[in-house]
Amino acid sequence: MADTSPILTLERVSKTFVTKPVFGPARRVEALRRVSLTLQPGKALALVGESGSGKSTVGRLIVRHYAPTEGRILFEGQDIETNHSRALEKAYQRSVQMVFQDPFSALNPAHTIRHHLLRPLALHQPDRDPERALLDLLGDVELDPKSTPDKYPHELSGGQRQRVNFARALAVNARLIVADEPTSMLDVSIRKSVLGLMRRLKDERGLALLYITHDIATAQYLAEETAVMFRGQIVEQGPTARVVGAPQHAYTQLLRSAVPDPAIRLGGDGQSFAEQAAQVRKDAARDVTSMTMAGDGHFFALH
Ligand SMILES: Nc1ncnc2c1ncn2[C@@H]1O[C@H](COP(=O)(O)OP(=O)(O)OP(=O)(O)O)[C@@H](O)[C@H]1O
């Protein structure tokens, strides 16, 4: 039977940034407010929201670029901030990998693809024949095993570079990949194939995926579950088909109405769309007081 225990859980995680400009008072940004999420092996969770909603902050907390201001992040049930055993530390670093929006950012232009992949393979899969492991890895991410190894990053397309980034995560035996807008810098024509690769890695290798995106439409292609964020809070969460197909929170309806197929329109009489949208955003920014169940596993926020 499939393993349904979570690999990673966020429990009421908040993150406040305090920035001190050269002139003027310090500024506090509540980037996340009491965010709770669960990630499971073989499943993808889409974290959807507009720019500045806090999506990347969730990803960066998970890969420990920062620590939460409040709340806990549990890896297989253990708090990653307070349990500092070396074993947990090593397991975590290996198991949780991030793939970024810019496929170039994580690749060194001076090194071939072979170099990028052989190093993690030697460290994390030392018992395997390195060349055989390299060929298998390229096959896993649907890159040509013959022509790819000796190329430099600039000789590959954006989609191919992103595939190399996924291959690196596989080389270290990642079990959870945080993919932060992994297709938004790619041509529309190849976005779907990279999403298809992610779907295959999840289904065939049992990877857990956190798919961060501003595009609610693509969530349907990949993710079993979707969480919608606005101003640092989750306002709706549940099975993707329900969140996208029958959104309950006004902000999700607003996001959904920006998709070309306006199956769902905002209600309200007499108000222009812009006025309604401004009102929805104002209401949605208020603190979430509780989550109401709209169906099996489907919740939306009350403010
Ligand atoms: N290191 C930081 N220092 C100060 N403020 C930050 C920092 N990182 C993020 N923020 C602020 O936190 C809020 C959430 O940012 P975040 O990048 O998580 O949003 P996002 O939904 O991922 O947006 P985008 O899609 O534009 O990356 C924003 O107001 C942002 O300005």
Domains and CATH numbers, the chain: 8-302 (3.40.50.300)
Q: Is 49 in the pocket of ligand 1 (CB under 6 A)?
A: yes
| 180-184 average pLDDT score | 91
| 107-115 average pLDDT score | 94
What residue's CA is closest to ligand 1, atom 18? 54
Task: Indicate if the pLDDT at residue 264 is higher than 50.
Answer: no
- Residues facing residue 234 across a β-bridge: 229
Instruction: Give the tokens for residue 27.
Output: 């500024």
Task: Indicate if the pLDDT at residue 303 is higher than 90.
Answer: yes
Q: Is 56 in the pocket of ligand 1 (CB under 6 A)?
A: yes
Task: Indicate if the pLDDT at residue 263 is higher than 60.
Answer: no
Task: Indicate if the pLDDT at residue 91 is higher than 90.
Answer: no
Tell me what pLDDT residue 180 has. Answer: 95
Tell me what pLDDT residue 104 has. Answer: 77
pLDDT interval class at 41 (50, 70, 90)? very high
Of residues 189, 252, 251, 187, the one with CA closest to residue 219: 252
Q: Is 31 in the pocket of ligand 1 (CB under 6 A)?
A: yes
Pairing, β 8-19 against β 70-75: antiparallel
Measured at the alpha carbon of residue 41, what is the angle toward residues 40 and 42, in degrees to the nearest 5? 110
Comparing 5-9, 174-178, 199-203, 257-261, the range with the smallest average pLDDT is 257-261
The answer to pTM > 0.90 is yes
pLDDT interval class at 276 (50, 70, 90)? confident
pLDDT interval class at 268 (50, 70, 90)? low
- Residues facing residue 179 across a β-bridge: 99, 211
Torsion of CA 91, 93, 98, 103, to 10 degrees: -120
| Ligand 1 atom index nearest CA of 214 | 25
